[in-house]
Structure 1
Amino acid sequence: MTRSIRPSALLPHRMPLRARLTLTYAVLFMLAGVVLLGLTYLLFNQQIRTTTTNKVIARIGGPPTGTPSPGQVTPRQATPPPLPSKNELFAMTKDGEVLSGPKAEEWMREQRQELRDAATTSLITQGAIALLVVGGVATGLGWLIAGQMLAPLHRVTETARRIAEAPAADKGLHERIALRGPDDEVKELADTFDTMLERLDRSFDGQRRFVANASHELRTPLTVSRALVEMAMHRPSASPDVKRLGENLLEINLRHERLITGLLLLAGSEREITDPAPVDLADVVGHVAAHTSLEASRAGITVHEEAGEAVTSGDAMLLERLVQNLVENGIRHNTGEGGWVRVTSRTRERGDLVELVVTNSGPQVAPYEVPALFEPFRRLGPDRVVTAKGAGLGLSIVRSVARAHGGEVTARPRKEGGLEVRVTLPACPDEYATETLDQQRLTV
């Protein structure tokens, strides 16, 4: 059985993009050159024909045809012109005037110079105009063709920019370029980029699943250990040493529980908000201030709230956690007795963004240490020890929640000590948001 061979199989597997661009511009240049050459030839030929028709009639030898015979008077002449000798150079102008000898040579020299000047003018002036016209057309065609050939590169760039600017990693990494076209360098780049995105997507999903599953699995032994420690502490025969040891173990156990809860929340906050709803940060600020009042009073900290209307769209539980983490961070990292925390929510004047600003007193913080505060498990100074109250995930969770809602978090140290943390989120000022919030408040 014979196997047929397609003609395309005899051609190279692909033509590189560089070769395609080179071939395209070479063809365009050759076409432009041919057109320019043809136009120049036509213009020059026209100029020569016009100049020759209006100029010279010259001969060496006997009188030209039509020369008046001796004694004959032309209508334009009152007396017959002198005739040249038989072998003398003579010329007749377009006006019928007959020149001979040195005058004919001088006249023909002038005519040759005029012809040369006309040809030069035709080549330089008209050729330059033709060159500009043809060059402009060739540039326009080259621009269109280059844009058509480089359009896949723009698509790759736009996709990469959207993925880089995506607030949630899940949403960005699930996007693919899926470029269709000739098998060249651009398609190879797009396919490689898609493969990289697929691997990153699997890696991030696996990491989040691992954190979530590990956190869930660790909750059970911690709950059992807490129950055993409490039973040992509350036995009638428990000695004071056992009770003190039990209190220390419960404190360590509580810290581990906070760590696991923070890991779960961090893993959940990095996902895309699938069912956003209008949330007024003013309600959240009031609720969090009331909830943290007991901890603040025990630490001698005063919490001031300035809850202005600031309606955004997102997950109410995550936004509440964002505000709570900021307030708790301001309480725990403060000067102690006499310290304060101020929580402010408002809508910007243009109405496109809402702000949450949490300011607290406290120790001095170096400006170069502020970016590290938003990294997981990063603490400052003595708070790096194991017995610290926090798990080192508070501000990391704040940043993840803000980015999942399309916002951003910034922080700056205060000159008097402490921090000012500012959260900006997209506003949700439409009528639907107002109606939904009113229904929620009536239900509560």
Structure 2
Amino acid sequence: MSRKYFGTDGIRGRVGQTPMTPDFALRLGWAAGRVLAADAEHARVVIGKDTRRSGYMLESALEAGFAAAGIESYLLGPLPTAGVAYLTHAMRAQAGVVISASHNPHGDNGVKFFNADGGKLSDAVESEIEAALTREIQCVSADRLGRARRVDDAAGRYIEFCKGTFAERDLHGLKIVLDCANGAAYKVGPAVLRELGAQVDVIGDQPTGLNINLGCGSTDLDALRARVVEQGAGLGIALDGDADRCLMVDAAGRVINGDQILYAIAMMRQAEGTLKGPVVGTQMSNLGLEHALDAAGISFMRAKVGDRYVMEMLKANNGVLGGETSGHTVCLDKTTTGDGIITALQVLTGMIRTGQSLAERVAGMRLYPQVLINVALSQPADEVLASTTVQKAQAQTTAELNGRGRVLLRASGTEPLIRVMVEGQNQDQTQHAAEFLAEQVRQACR
């Protein structure tokens, strides 16, 4: 069946509007409990969140829904998405729940689920939950109601897990600026790096509930770039609101995006013999990444946009490494989902083993000019993309690039947008082509 609420990364929306309302969250908790855990003896779920003020409201409503289904809730508090995935498995819960809208502003929020192994739910299971949402809540008897408990050592357990993935065990002598986006990693991120010996200057670590991703984090690198240069740091690390993304800044203040990070990790893995299967990117991955990996003899495949599809392709091809330009990188031999902290530790591992700077680690890859323009939608995306205006414009642009670039138009899985991407060898031509295509999409929306 088609899915009404689930996008590429759970359910997301504006707080106070369906589906981000307390009554919907109550029904969602009950429905998810019925599908994911109701048949298990002593069924339990773990619930984590980022720092949005609306997280309290949604957490309480979900907890009530799970209780009505007879499910125990273990509340982790603010914790990165990957931390929730790890503790879902470590605590032998039937499911994990993350309350977060990731890189979106504080007025948005979302809910995403992990299965008992800490992996993403399949489309089929999400469809089952949606079907259960249409049913009337049937509360279990009073003696079978679920309870809620706080897990006081959740952050500490995740910190130790992250440190355990870092084979070098020592970052002494390295100065790092870390931007926590005023989000879920504001405590655990600095703790991991400091306990490994790094000198850490932290920004974006004063969450108010309203300032998550605001002028900070992986969506706005200006403050981090300036701070790295000002402090004379070796590099900067930028996480997003739920810390599943990582972008970086080199010592000169230059941005290192997710494609470059993926390249650096792939080259390290190839050198040490731990790279299995193909490296998987997405339709948005820079053509320069594909060409650089090909030159190194590393197979590269493209999945649909969304880390769930990257992971599906990795598993289908026995791969371990994949990611997105946005900095959503997955190392499936280290963890079960995208983890910004572990991604950073993987890049740092390559730097330490080779003695190279961050800039040197990515120097072998040339980024092709790529222009991405988001066009707001006022009607269904499939109608716009299928319109004659857009189809002709896309064909014209592809012909003009004449095999020297790529064109991609796609609907966002999390926002009412069409993403227009053009990539080519010439910056001016690429910019012009993207602006032309974006205007044609706007015309089709009128």
- Please tell me the TM-score bracket, short chain as reference: under 0.3
Structure number with higher strand proportion: 2
State TM-score, norm by structure 1.
0.23
Structure number with higher helix proportion: 1
